[in-house]
Amino acid sequence: MESDKQNLQRTMTSRHITMMALGGAIGAGLFKGSSAAIDMAGPSVLLAYLIGGIILLFVMQGLAEMAVRNSNARTFRDLVQSILGKYPAYFLDWIYWKMWVLNITAESIVAAIFIQYWLPDYPIWILALSVSVLVTVINLLSVKAFAETEYWLALIKITVIIVFIIAGFILLLVTFGDHTAVGFSNLTSHGGFFPNGPTGLITAMLVVIYSYGGTEIIGVTLAETKNPEKVVPKAVRSTLVRIISFYLVPFLIIVSLIPWNEVNGVPESPFVMVFKMIGIPGADHIMNAVVLLAIISSMNSGLYGSSRVLYTQAMDGRIPKVFSKLSKKKVPVYSILLCTSVLYIGVLISLFAGSKTFDFLMGSLGYTVLCIWLIIAIAHVKSRKKQPEQTSAYAVKWFPYTTWFAIIALSAILIGIIFTTSIIVTSITLAIYIFITITYVFKGRLHQNEA
């Protein structure tokens, strides 16, 4: 069994997994979900993303510490099972898988929406199908080829966000030609900083958590990363600074340049709107192309993460062994194909629901990211009881206060979201969680009967 586990090649470096985490987190949640978050919270969306970023920092620090303590771990389940037991590990594995397959489905729809900017006569489902096929092909290449593709896609969108930030501040602060410096009056002049009150802020937290979700994919790269005990903490530190910067600063520019109550009234991304304001010929088309690449990059990371969860499940005999079969390029081909098949189900759904498919999926995904972060944080607290701090080469500062802050904050957000989210989204998500639990109980009884 041990030799089989080594079939996955350790070819990913720190720069690969850093960019992969960015690729997973800087996608539809930023470029499309930003409109929904601003519509819910107004300018106070800045506070929502700051709170979410702090929580993410504390959760990821705990994940990095556990990865260093358990250098033989391949995915989250290996980190969590020895600490919390079989059921939490099983539940985490499957909700993580569910999160990514739903996320790549949602993002295929968003990608199609951006392609429609150029091809308005083509239906959403045809465009989503084209993107889905492209992402499938990329993932069937070697891990190194996939990682390099993801690296450059992520680098492109990060470069453009930096250009966006520079251009945005010029529009805000500099008067030139026919343009008058906008300043920051839009932050308070349309109903105040909290136009929808505390409820708007709480409701937006679901989009915020969804947007940041994907960063924890670092925990799935363990089996294919060189020296994970050194690389993971480094990647966590660099990733978090960039993610918080690439969310908070662009949002500050968007809600300062555009009145918050006008952002959600147009079909295009707020990023495209701002580039139009710059007045560069074709800037809106350039930005639309970059946003499209960013979303494909996020889908790329998602298909990788979900397929690796299936692979390790198959390796441990929890699902049919065929899903552990590797291609000549050393990728789990059947796991990838099963995960990508969900993409095509999403395409069928979009045939009837169209662009609203994204909104339906985003609520359930927010719940799932919350649960994943909670389980990681709880596991981190318990891991310290099993292994004292001095036995680890990497230890979180200010423990346990940081992790307990994350647990309490996530629990409070979860309660708030339950009361402010559509009952349909909540019910569907709960039904999925109950189904996962039932399968765990059924499998346990099946093993007992066989024994």
Determine the Cα–Cα distance for residues 180 and 162; give it in Å rounded to an integer: 22
The reported pLDDT for the residue numbered 1 is 35
pLDDT in tens, 303-322: 887 888 888 888 877 788 88
**What whole-number distance in Å separates Cα of residue 27 and Cα of residue 32?**
8
Q: Which percentage of the chain shows pLDDT scores above 90? A: 6
Calculate mean pLDDT across residues 56-80: 78
pLDDT score at 375: 92
| Residue 179, strand partner residues | 176
Question: Which among 98, 64, 27, 1 is positioned nearest to 428, based on CA atoms?
Answer: 98
Residue 382's CB is within 10 A of a number of other CB atoms, namely 13
| pLDDT over 90 at 407, yes or no | yes
Instruction: Over range 251-274, report the average pLDDT.
Output: 79
**Mean pLDDT confidence for 177-182:** 79
CA separation, residue 219 to residues 77, 139, 141 (Å)? 9, 18, 21
Reply yes or no on whether the pLDDT at 416 is more than 70: yes
- State pTM to two decimals: 0.78
Beta-carbon count within 10 A of 138 CB: 18
Residues 76, 315: contact at Cβ < 8 Å? no
Q: Does residue 414 surpass a pLDDT of 60?
A: yes
**25: which strand partners?**
none
> What average pLDDT does the chain have?
78
Q: What is the mean pLDDT of residues 242-248?
A: 75
pLDDT in tens, 277-304: 777 777 778 877 877 887 787 787 778 8
Can you tell me the mean pLDDT for 332-352? Answer: 79
Q: Secondary structure of 326-368 in the HEC alphabet?
A: CCCCCCCHHHHHHHHHHHHHHHHHHHHHHHHHHHHHHHHHHHH
Bond prior to 400 in cis (omega within 30° of 0):
yes
pLDDT band of residue 2 (cuts 50, 70, 90) is very low
- Of 293, 292, 296, 306, nearest to 340 by C-alpha is 306
**Residue 93: which residues within 8 A CB-CB, separation 6 or more?**
75, 76, 77, 309, 312, 313
Average pLDDT for residues 330-357, to the nearest whole number?
A: 75
Mean of the pLDDT values across residues 192-203?
Answer: 87
Handedness of CA 281, 285, 290, 291 (dihedral sign): positive
Model confidence at 405, pLDDT cuts 50, 70, 90, reads very high
Report pLDDT for 124. 81
The residue with greater pLDDT, 250 or 11, is: 250
Angle at 407 between CA 223 and CA 309, to 5 degrees: 25
The position carrying tokens 């981190």 is 380
Q: Say whether pLDDT at 47 is over 60.
A: yes
411 CB-side CA count, 13 A: 9
Q: Say how many Å lie between the first and final Cα of the chain, rounded.
A: 22
Torsion, Cα of 336, 216, 253, 276 (10° steps) = -10
Q: Which residue has the higher pLDDT, 392 or 169?
A: 169
